[in-house]
Each structure stands twice: as structure tokens, then as C-alpha cells.
Amino acid sequence: MSGQLDETRRGERLRMVEEQLLARGITHEKVLRAMRDVPRHAFVPDAYRSAAYEDRPLPIGHGQTISQPYMVATMTAALDLDQTNRVFEIGTGCGYQAAVLAQLSEEVISFEWVSDLAATAREALRVLGIDNVRVYAGDGSCGLKDGKLYDRIIVTAGAPQVPPEVRAQLADRGRLVIPLGSRHHQEITVLRRIGHDYEEERREGCVFVPLQGRYGW
């Protein structure tokens, strides 16, 4: 669970939730609550702090971005989290999505390809007292070597396919959310595992930075 979150700029978060999320049909109360609580501005570089609650992605360095609030909410809602879930995230970036997931689950294990970003994300989470996220630097597309199954898996970079080792780590009745498609355009895709079968549902279009590593571009 998270400790003390930063209460400043709460008014801007309430407006973000009203105008960007509720107005576009996101009604999952738990997701809305997490996004009212997590201080997005604490995850963006100083130069973009004033823009932290705007309706768009923002640069976080190394050619990467923090996703638009609406996209974070959409993917989080699609995961349909339960407080007991263990979550595997690929693409920590600045750590904002991980912080939102952490409010709604037991534990988040997050992998980030760029080690500088992993370090910055770790520090932002520490400062906010969010202690149920573990951030590792490395290629998350190869899955985790812990041999465990995860209830929920989220990939926050655009991918040409579901990385097979990652898919194999999805627990029965689990859900995996990933932007699948071409390098420049993807669709939010939800995979549900039922025994040995996977049901795939394609949702809205999106544009994410490309997945790197073994199963990336």
C-alpha cells in the first residue's frame, strides 16, 4: 500500500478526473479514486510540472513519455484489479502508471529498459512512500525469471505481438493488457486466460512508444 501521498494540486486532479476521464465514460470508481490520489506532477520532469494535469502525454527524457491520463485510466480499468492481485508491468517509465496500479493491488513488479528512468521512478515512488512497487532495470519482454504467475500483466509500450514468455506468466483467470499493432499505431488489447485458452479483445486505437528488447521492434 502507499504511505503518505502528496496532497498538493488536488484541485487539478479532481478537474482532470471530471473533464478527461468521467466525461469520456470512465466510471470505475476505484480507478478514479486512485487517479485523484496519485500526484502525477511528482513523476514528470521539472520542466513539465506545470503541464502535469493536461490532457496529453509528456516527455520524460530518453525519448520516452508518460502516457496521457486518459490512457492510464483506460488501461487500469481494463485490468479490472482486485486488491489481492500481483501485477507485472513492462515499461515503468517515470513510474506514474505503477503508482496508480499500486493503489489498487497487492504488489507491482515493474521492468524498465532504460536504467536511468528506472532509478528516477524508484526515487519518485520512495519519496511518496509507495512501498509495494519494485522496479527493475532490464528487458521485461522476456518475462520474469521468478517462475511465478501473475494475476495481471500490463505492457505500456507498443508491441508487434504478445511476448510469449510474458503471456506464459499470466495466471489462470488473469488479464493482460497491451497496445498491439504497428510501430506507429496500436489497439489496446485485453487478453484473458481461461485454463489453456486465451480470449483476445481489441479495444480503442492508441499510439505508444515502441517496445524494445527481444520481442520489441
The residue ranges that bind ligand SAH (CB under 6 A) are 64-67, 90-91, 93-94, 96-97, 111-114, 117, 139-141, 156-157, 209, 211-213, 216
Choose the catalytic residue: 2, 67, 105, 182. 67
- Considering the complex, state which of residue 70 and residue 111 has its C-beta at the smaller distance from ligand SAH: 111
Nearest to 36 by CA among 13, 55, 63: 13
* Cα first-last separation, the chain: 35
> Which residues contact residue 78 at a Cβ distance below 8 angstroms, ignoring those fewer than 6 apart?
175, 177, 188, 190, 203
Nearest to 157 by CA among 80, 64, 79, 74: 64
> At its nearest, how many Å lie between ligand SAH and the CB of residue 22?
21
Count Cβ atoms within 10 A of the Cβ of residue 61 and give its class: 0-12 exposed, 13-18 middle, 19 or more buried: middle
- Are 189 and 179 a contacting pair, CB within 8 Å? yes
- Considering the complex, state which of residue 146 and residue 172 has its C-beta at the smaller distance from ligand SAH: 146
Q: Which residue is nearest to ligand SAH (CB)?
A: 93
Neighbours of 13 (CB within 10 A): 21
- Considering the complex, state which of residue 143 and residue 174 has its C-beta at the smaller distance from ligand SAH: 143
> At its nearest, how many Å lie between ligand SAH and the CB of residue 138?
7
> At its nearest, how many Å lie between ligand SAH and the CB of residue 185?
16
- Considering the complex, state which of residue 39 and residue 93 has its C-beta at the smaller distance from ligand SAH: 93
> At its nearest, how many Å lie between ligand SAH and the CB of residue 72?
6
Phi-psi region of 203 (alpha: psi -120 to 50; beta: other; left: phi over 0): beta
**67 is known as an active-site residue:** yes
Q: Which residues are catalytic?
A: 67
